[in-house]
Structure 1
């Protein structure tokens, strides 16, 4: 039996490395930056005012006091996008707006609240330190400075920083296309009517949402009945970087995924994990394929433990850490298999999300969990107070 760590290592061997593309900033949200982004220009690109007020020469108002204000002649105005094209000489001031270029000759800005303005003149009753309220060219970033490092998951603030620096397009890791296939003659679409022995299908709903949350582009292959030929045909025709199947991968008499894909190049193995023991991994005509069990909780666990890392590897995203947390109550574990238990996390520790433990059929109760706890295969019990490895759901 293969350990979960060994199986994950094999999964990461099968999936392709990241692929890259250059996209406009408007299309880059949520993508991973593939190369460092450097400022195309200095930021800000010119000295500009941090306040609405008057651009002055600091030397002209150095002796200004409340009792003896200094009068300056207002010779022009500098507004954002409409700079004053003259210069500020001795005894002069220029009306200036926030963000407007500081005129030649001026070396300080006095906020308008601190002056008394009359027609063509401004009275200043206190000195203005050199550089007061002036944003210097390049004080945020110099031309060529690193603005967004490679590997950054691009959010709105990163895109704004790139845009402010004059960058219009970025190279990103292309979101992988992950196709998914669900099998089972017993499956009925939600909202339909159940016949004898039938159940509502939930794995497709889960995989569509989970893959999207992981940053992949989900590709639905639809529901395939218990026909090995149909399974193989659907997988072989998939336009994707990876195919994930659910169900039909065990040792039953009607396991169409195993029957259809094993001859085509997928190895079906037992993994020492609970839930999720029956697994398949390989390629079909060069297409990587991960075959998961069909029970919904097993699917959720295996997506977190195997499919999520595969998608992150294809995106160039680091794996989130599992952190040690204290068990607030005890539970039993299957001997010889690593247990992955749906849990509810709190500041003090974690507890099982349901009284049913990690049973792979407890689909409705999975919603009560907000994370997973991993218990080593050599343990058959977790006692209250024990430390387990925990991670919140990533999908």
Structure 2
């Protein structure tokens, strides 16, 4: 067993990993699968939306100028000659003195230029009385009011929201070009690990990293590829690593990343490709590293669950997000709050500190072992202490990265 000769600066290492990474090529996907994906090119409208004038309210389509002078004391009467429904327009040109019953979204009849709201009128058999003057254009949604043909509707690089695919559907689109989701192979190693659903026994523990990494990869826009647990056997890890590089855009190896006698992953990356970083000045996650094999980035994640989470968030997550066309920024909401007690750190080391929020103040979680995953479930979030800082005193304002998207201090 040997120790690390030196540990790389975490921020510099992250920069080296991200420098060559670029968004992947485009692929066409159905609108049903497009939400959350990143547009690969501008979407230009090839027709007006709406492509006809339509009613914006239920009421009566008339010629607006013919309502001038109408009031509750002087109602004006029009002949009711038919109706216009969504998808079923009135079949002829409206004449002077005529009205057409019309529903919201229905085509405005030719010859009409306004809609009198239903509450401003009353029907009497074959006539309708109007009690208020309504100028031309009132309660009418004009052709192209939503989208003009030839205009850029959505720009490349946009992460699609539910309402975006609604607009695309209105344009007649069935599919859309998006950045391809990176395929991410998750290779979990360890003789001590049992598969998900097992009961811990005989000094063996259940693998918790695979299901956590699968969820994190999906969060960041990747497509996880997960195989069976690989034993701590050099040749089996080598075979699985080469297989993963042939299948995926990114390879994550969980476990076997340190300097023990069964930590084969770093040496295999070095032999099969280039090991760029092994060991980072970061707590937890110091055994993390990365390199390239067959042109694919391979990220070494510690087996201890909290270290695995922190190393993933710091190295793998921004890489996957960049390949997916997303921002490399931390995917957590933030709050600036005062510390209830000090956080001590060490110059030259980045610290990932799990914290709770109590009565508007930030408390570091005392138990900080890298294998105690429940500290992250008990925590509201984490604080990063940069390498050029020895920590923060009680009362200092710190940036808390929140694990939950909805937090009482955010939602009020």
Matched with 1:316 is 325
Report the TM-score, using the length of structure 1 for normalisation.
Answer: 0.93
Distance 2:122 2:17 in 1: 73
Q: CA deviation at 1:336?
A: 3.1
Q: 2:386 aligns with which of 376, 379, 384?
A: 376
Partner of 2:291: 282
Counterpart for residue 100 of structure 1: 106
Give the equivalent residue in structure 1 for 2:351: 339
Partner Cα separation in structure 2 for residue 185 and residue 14 of structure 1: 34
Q: CA deviation at 1:138?
A: 1.5
1:288 shift after superposition? 1.7
286, 295, 300: which one aligns with 2:304: 295
- Matched with 2:3 is none
| 1:236 positional shift | 0.7
Post-superposition offset of 1:62: 0.8
Q: 2:362 matched to 1:356?
A: no
Instruction: Give yes or no for contact 2:279–2:288 (8 Å, CA) kept in 1.
Output: yes
Query: Which residue number in structure 2 is paired with residue 240 of structure 1?
Result: 248
Give per-residue Cα distances to partners, 1:94-147, cap 9 Å, x unaligned.
121211111111111112222221222112232112212111112222112232
Aligned to 1:72: 78
| Aligned residues of 1:329 and 1:384 also touching (Cα < 8 A) | yes
Look up the match of 1:109.
115
Q: Does 1:253 align with 2:261?
A: yes
Return 267-276 or 301-310, whichever deviates more: 267-276
- Structure-2 residue corresponding to 1:328: 340
Task: Report the number of matched residues.
Answer: 393
Q: Report SS of the residue matched to 1:313.
A: helix
Say yes or no: does 1:390 pair with 2:396. no
Per-residue CA shift, 1:37-58, capped at 9, x if unaligned?
2222212211111122211111
Give the secondary-structure state (helix, strand or coil) at the position aligned to 2:216. helix
Unaligned runs of 5+ in 2: 1-6, 406-412
Q: CA 1:193/1:44 → structure 2, altered by over 3 Å: closer, same or farther?
A: closer
Gap runs ≥5 in structure 1: none
The 1:346/1:215 distance shift into structure 2, 3 A limit, reads farther
| 1:217 Cα deviation after fit | 0.7
Backbone CA RMSD of aligned residues: 2.2
Partners of 1:385 and 1:18 lie apart in 2 by 45
The question of 1:21 aligning with 2:30 is answered no
CA contact (8 A) 2:354 2:375 kept: no
Contact 1:29 1:154 in 2 (8 A): yes
Does the C-alpha gap of structure 1 residues 55 and 186 become closer, same or farther in structure 2, counting only changes over 3 Å?
Answer: same
Is 1:84 aligned with 2:99?
A: no
Q: Secondary structure of the residue that 2:110 maps to in structure 1? A: coil
Match of 2:79, SS? strand
Cα 1:222–1:190 shift into 2, 3 Å: closer
Structure 2 residue 278 is the aligned partner of structure 1 residue 269: yes
Kept after mapping to 2: 8 A contact 1:228/1:261: no
Normalising by structure 2, report the TM-score. 0.89
Aligned partners of 1:125, 1:347: CA distance in 2, in Å? 59
CA pair 347-19 structure 1, distance change in 2 beyond 3 A:
farther
